[in-house]
């Protein structure tokens, strides 16, 4: 994922979420093939890998709509022409205001106007947050949007949030993240009665900093399947269906997991290829090794939902391959088909907090 930006620096007009009952952007628009607005210029490998991934996803009955410059070779996919691009190094909120015809902003606008059902970008994460707040806006009652990332575990997929949208958070934000994560786990991961845990430095309730201590008390009384604290060493073992933390902690944990998985798999491949005996043994374990790589590879999911907006937003890793982009588009389509935004809106309405950001 790209650069993030504090919510205190989002574009003017992004904070209000209007009255209750407003229809989320894109909701119900995906009758038939889900329409996914794809930022063709977002990410380190754009546009080639983005277009290739979109073409792969289109074979599954999804309708990717590419946003990029005139003359972009799309392989027959629909192209909405744009004239600007937001780079990874740009300050997100300023770039979103200064570049309304950028591929990233135009893709968000398409969802807000009902011309697409979800938006996907592998570009600047902070700009995704800023554009989402400005054009899609928050669901009524949502205090802070959160990035929800599926992570592989020995027990099956788990969801970690917040994975980077909010470097600073309050206890009531973590409570709401838990509710959003539980809905995500039910609707996308097909987990009935998901178990929720709070990421901390120990399993005991008294372990942690002031934020985790306060959040623990709220979660315990929050009407969730809260099972206490979880330690980071247990994340890949399947600590819980939903693991909640602030965005600073979550982003560090996510990148540590991704780096560790990649290093171990690459080291295993190198060791197998180092000797004749290793290569022979590698032939025997190849099917199991492929299954393991598929299960642990971050490209398997490809993206993360930015939950809490009135339109569906999916953020892909900045270095996404075509496989990762295709899977991220599929993830977006699954969210459209399951009406994740609408379900979040209806279920969070009952738990609306009077607190403000």
- Per-residue pLDDT tens over the stretch 155-173: 888 999 999 999 999 999 9
Span 37-53, mean pLDDT?
A: 95
Mean pLDDT score across all residues of the chain: 85
Give first-to-last CA distance, the chain, whole Å. Answer: 24
Q: How far is CA 135 from CA 111, 113, 121, 162, 285, in A?
A: 9, 9, 15, 21, 50
pLDDT at 5 > cutoff 60? no
Q: Is residue 240 part of a domain?
A: yes
- For the segment 6-17, what is each residue's pLDDT rounded down to a tens digit? 333 333 333 333
Which residue did the predictor score with more confidence, 84 or 262?
84
Q: Do residues 155 and 290 share a domain?
A: yes
Which three-class secondary structure state does DSSP give residue 53? helix
> CB of 105 within 8 A of CB of 16?
no
Span 302-309, mean pLDDT?
A: 90
Q: Do residues 112 and 179 share a domain?
A: no
Q: Do residues 41 and 186 share a domain?
A: no
Q: Which of 3-12, 96-105, 231-240 has the lowest mean pLDDT?
A: 3-12
Q: Do residues 133 and 196 share a domain?
A: no
pLDDT of residue 310: 94
For residue 212, give both structure tokens: 């985790």
Q: Do residues 159 and 135 share a domain?
A: no
pLDDT at 153 > cutoff 70? yes
Domain of 157, in residue numbers = 146-299
Give dist(CA 314, CA 121) in Å, integer: 7
pLDDT at 202 > cutoff 70? yes
Q: Sorting pLDDT into bands at 50, 70 and 90, what band is 351?
A: low
Which three-class secondary structure state does DSSP give residue 196? strand
Give dist(CA 124, CA 223) in Å, integer: 35
pLDDT of residue 296: 65
- For the segment 218-230, what is each residue's pLDDT rounded down to a tens digit? 999 988 889 999 9
pLDDT at 329 > cutoff 50? yes
From the list 107, 108, 113, 41, the residue with the least C-alpha distance to 70 is 41
- CATH number of the domain enclosing 126: 3.40.718.10
> CB of 141 within 8 A of CB of 352?
yes
């Amino acid at each position: 994922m790209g650069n993030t930006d504090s919510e205190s620096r989002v574009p003017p007009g992004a904070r209000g979420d209007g009255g209750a009952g407003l229809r989320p952007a894109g909701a119900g628009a995906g009758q038939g093939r889900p329409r996914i607005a794809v930022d063709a210029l977002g990410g380190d490998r754009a546009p080639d890998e983005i277009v290739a991934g979109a073409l792969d996803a289109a074979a599954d009955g999804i309708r990717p709509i590419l946003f990029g410059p005139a003359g972009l070779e799309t392989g027959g996919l629909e192209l909405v022409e744009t004239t600007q691009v937001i780079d990874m190094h740009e300050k997100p909120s300023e770039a979103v205001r200064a570049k309304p015809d950028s591929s990233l902003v135009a893709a968000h606008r398409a969802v807000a106007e009902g011309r697409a059902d979800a938006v996907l970008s592998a570009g600047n994460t902070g700009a995704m947050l800023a554009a989402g707040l400005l054009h899609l806006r928050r669901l009524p009652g949502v205090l802070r949007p959160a990035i929800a990332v599926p992570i592989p575990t020995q027990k099956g997929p788990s969801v970690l949030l917040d994975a980077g949208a909010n470097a600073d958070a309050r206890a009531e934000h973590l409570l709401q993240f838990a509710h959003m994560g539980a809905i995500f786990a039910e609707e996308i991961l097909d987990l009935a009665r998901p178990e929720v845990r709070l990421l901390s430095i120990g399993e005991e309730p008294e372990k942690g900093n002031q934020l985790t201590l306060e959040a623990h008390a709220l979660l315990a009384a929050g009407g969730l399947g809260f099972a206490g604290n979880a330690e980071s060493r247990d994340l890949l073992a399947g600590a819980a269906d939903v693991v909640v933390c602030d965005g600073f902690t979550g982003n560090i944990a996510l990148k540590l997991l991704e780096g560790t998985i990649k290093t171990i798999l690459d080291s295993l491949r190198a060791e197998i290829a180092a000797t004749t005996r290793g290569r022979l043994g590698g032939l025997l374990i190849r099917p199991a090794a492929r299954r393991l790589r598929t299960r642990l590879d971050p490209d398997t999911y490809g993206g993360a939902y930015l939950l809490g907006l009135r339109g569906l937003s999916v953020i892909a890793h900045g270095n996404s391959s075509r496989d990762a982009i295709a899977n991220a588009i599929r993830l977006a389509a699954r969210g459209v088909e399951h009406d994740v935004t609408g379900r979040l809106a209806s279920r969070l309405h009952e738990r609306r907090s009077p607190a403000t950001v």
